[in-house]
A = this chain, B = another copy of it.
Amino acid sequence: MSFAQRVPEYRARADQSLARWLPAAEVAPTRLHEALRYSVLGAGKRIRPLLSYATGEILGLEPSRCDAPAVAVELIHAYSLVHDDLPAMDDDDLRRGRPTTHVAYDEATALLVGDALQSLAFQILAEDEACLAGPALRMRMLAELAVASGSRGMVGGQALDLRAEGRALDQAEIERIYRLKTGRLIEAAIMLPVILAGELPLSGERALRAFATQIGLAFQIRDDLLDVEGETSVIGKPGGSDERNRKATLPAVVGLEATRLRADTVYADAISALDPLGDRAEPLRWLSEFIIRRDH
């Protein structure tokens, strides 16, 4: 059975795990908890959890051991979307085909939803028992996720992205932003199971880290192409929003054709990075193709 056939099962695992860790909507404060669940459940491709499960498979980890890393990363991603969509940031009304959290609820609630999702991500890594990690490895996972999320990781990339609006950046500057704002958390989705596995030979760890940095960049380039090419009905948010928001994007700087070529090159680099792992790396090869071919 190929990884492709296990994808629905892994998505269901991630969703169940998220549904279990998120407080029930009946628990006070009920409106906040309802909004937390609204913001996380019922939509989303779960690409980051899939990357964690695929990496876990390659390293011989039981899926149950990867649930916590998978959902912790997904919650950081989910909080960043809720805050990104706020009027002070991208001011988007639609996300994954549904009203964004501040539209469905209100701005203050969306702010608090993001804040609470971030706390929950760290709580899960600290409390989950099924990952069977000793406290020392667990601590390394926590540090990796905190650094990946923070001012020198995802949030730092968003800050650079903000500053870049309406400015003329070159390709290297834009790719640096992409590597932080999107790539760093995708890297964490792969590196948390690597840390969890513990006894990986250095060459294997290096291969996965190299893959992780390339696939994160490829992911964001693909996202930008989708924004230019996509139909609102398919991508779940209005197409062309980057242009309206005067975002510094690769298509805007080097053009559509050169961006497509760059996506192919970075994708090829990601796949090559997996060579030392041989056939075992099939799950991540499949996911990489999925990431680069997806239409939403």
Write the residues of chain A forming the contact surface with B, with a CB cutoff of 8 angstroms: 23, 27-29, 31-33, 36, 79-80, 83, 86, 88-89, 106-109, 111-112, 114-116, 118-120, 122-123, 125-127, 134-136, 138-140, 142-143, 146-147, 149-153, 155-156, 158-160, 162-163
Contacts and interface: CB of A to CB of B under 8 A. Distances in A.
A76 B171 CA distance: 36
Nearest to A119: B150
A107 B79 CA distance: 17
A136 B83 CA distance: 33
* CB-based closest 6 A-B pairs: A135-B135, A119-B150, A123-B146, A88-B107, A32-B159, A116-B151
Contact of A123 (B83, B150, B159): B150
Contact of A150 (B120, B146, B158): B120
Q: Give this chain's copy count.
A: 2
Given A138-B139, A139-B138, A155 B32 contact: yes
Contacts of A23: 151-152
Given A29-B160, A109-B159, A112-B159, A135 B139 contact: yes
Contacts of A150: 116, 119-120, 123
Given A108-B89, A160-B28, A155 B123 contact: no
Given A83-B112, A83-B115, A88-B88, 9 more contacts: A23-B151, A23-B152, A29-B151, A36-B151, A86-B111, A119-B149, A120-B150, A126-B142, A138-B139
Contacts of A86: 88, 111
A134 B138 CA distance: 12
Nearest to A155: B116
Contacts of A134: 135
B143 A112 contact: no
Of A32, A106, A127, A143, which is in contact with the most chain B CB atoms at under 10 Å from its CB?
Answer: A32
A33 B83 CA distance: 19
A146 B162 contact: no
Given A29-B160, A127-B143, A135-B136, A111 B111 contact: yes
B135 A108 contact: no
Contacts of A111: 83, 86, 88-89, 111
A88 B107 CA distance: 6
28 contacts: A23-B151, A23-B152, A29-B156, A29-B160, A31-B159, A32-B151, A33-B151, A36-B151, A80-B115, A86-B88, A88-B88, A88-B107, A89-B108, A109-B159, A112-B155, A114-B115, A115-B115, A115-B155, A119-B146, A119-B149, A120-B146, A120-B151, A126-B140, A126-B143, A126-B146, A127-B143, A135-B138, A142-B142
